[in-house]
């Protein structure tokens, strides 16, 4: 049985950056200040647990926080949250992914210029929540601005754009805010699917970009499984299989990919 790993496995740039920012803050402020992240710093429970052991506490609201340092996660945070942190005089460290920041800046410009803003993405995802808070209360307009959550499936984004173009409008501005890493991972996964009869997708169950990869795999018809850690990998999945493809989300560490490959080889 052959095991093939997608070229884009492991952490993406934005995730590496957020973890480095968190670890630097923990090292610098250890024992001198409480350090929180607003929401999970990245969507990988195992990495979040390791940072917890080092002193990073995850919070989802600021009600009981009166001091210390709050790190904004890689997904960004709602405008009201950022303003509340500043109002309380709490030290703020922004670990928002630069690609997410780029999308946020587009929303700011569209709002200023009077566009109706359409965000294609998961409404419950923290990145989209932050974008919606920046957009504010949307007004109907014949000038439409369209952006995407950075981890969207390109095909899904294109389909939504086609629907928008059927509306009555005077002007439409469309921005490709799907990050380059997301596009590369999806393309690499599709290439693996052409040559594999089983796919293992590794990443947090709460990771949007990992779920996109799993969706792509499932839609291909190839037997596919989404796992976070190596104990979830079942020996029976590999019966009669000759070529196994491995792909992973942007917040999955290389170490987890290696552990899962080792487990498969033991089978």
Q: Report CA 96 to chain centroid distance, whole Å.
A: 11
- Rounded Cα distance between 201 and 204, Å, is 10
Radius of gyration of the chain (CA): 20
Contacts of 96 (CB under 8 A, 6+ apart): 72, 73, 74, 75, 76, 77, 104
In a 13 Å sphere around the CA of 142, the CA atoms on its Cβ side amount to: 4
- Rounded Cα distance between 173 and 171, Å, is 7
Is position 28 annotated as part of the catalytic site?
no
Q: Report CA 95 to chain centroid distance, whole Å.
A: 13
Catalytic residue among 49, 116, 127, 232: 127
Answer for the pair 238, 267: CB distance below 8 angstroms, yes or no. Answer: yes
Answer for the pair 243, 193: CB distance below 8 angstroms, yes or no. Answer: no
Answer for the pair 133, 111: CB distance below 8 angstroms, yes or no. Answer: no
Answer for the pair 132, 119: CB distance below 8 angstroms, yes or no. Answer: yes
**Catalytic machinery residues:** 127
């Amino acid at each position: 049985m052959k095991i093939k790993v997608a070229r884009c496995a492991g952490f993406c740039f934005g995730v590496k950056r957020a973890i480095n920012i968190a670890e630097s803050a923990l090292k610098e402020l250890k024992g001198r200040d409480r350090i929180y992240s607003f929401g999970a710093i990245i969507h990988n429970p195992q990495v979040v647990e390791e940072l917890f052991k080092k002193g990073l506490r995850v919070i989802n609201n600021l009600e009981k926080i009166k001091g210390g340092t709050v790190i904004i996660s890689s997904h960004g945070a709602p405008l009201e949250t950022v303003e509340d942190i500043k109002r309380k005089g709490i030290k703020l460290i922004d670990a928002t992914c630069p690609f997410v920041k780029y999308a946020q800046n587009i929303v700011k410009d569209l709002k200023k210029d009077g566009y109706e803003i359409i965000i294609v993405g998961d409404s419950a995802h923290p990145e989209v929540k932050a974008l919606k808070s920046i957009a504010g209360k949307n007004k109907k307009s014949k000038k439409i601005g369209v952006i995407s959550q950075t981890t969207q499936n390109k095909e899904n984004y294109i389909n939504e754009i086609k629907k928008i173009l059927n509306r009555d409008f005077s002007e439409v501005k469309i921005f490709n805010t799907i990050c380059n890493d997301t596009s590369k991972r999806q393309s690499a996964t599709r290439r693996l699917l052409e040559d594999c009869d089983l796919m293992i997708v590794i990443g947090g169950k709460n990771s949007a970009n990992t779920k996109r990869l799993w969706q792509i795999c499932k839609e291909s018809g190839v037997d596919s499984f989404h796992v976070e850690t190596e104990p979830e990998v079942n020996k029976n999945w590999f019966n009669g299989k000759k070529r196994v493809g491995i792909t992973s989300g942007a917040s999955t560490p290389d170490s987890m990919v290696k552990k899962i490959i080792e487990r498969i080889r033991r089978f």
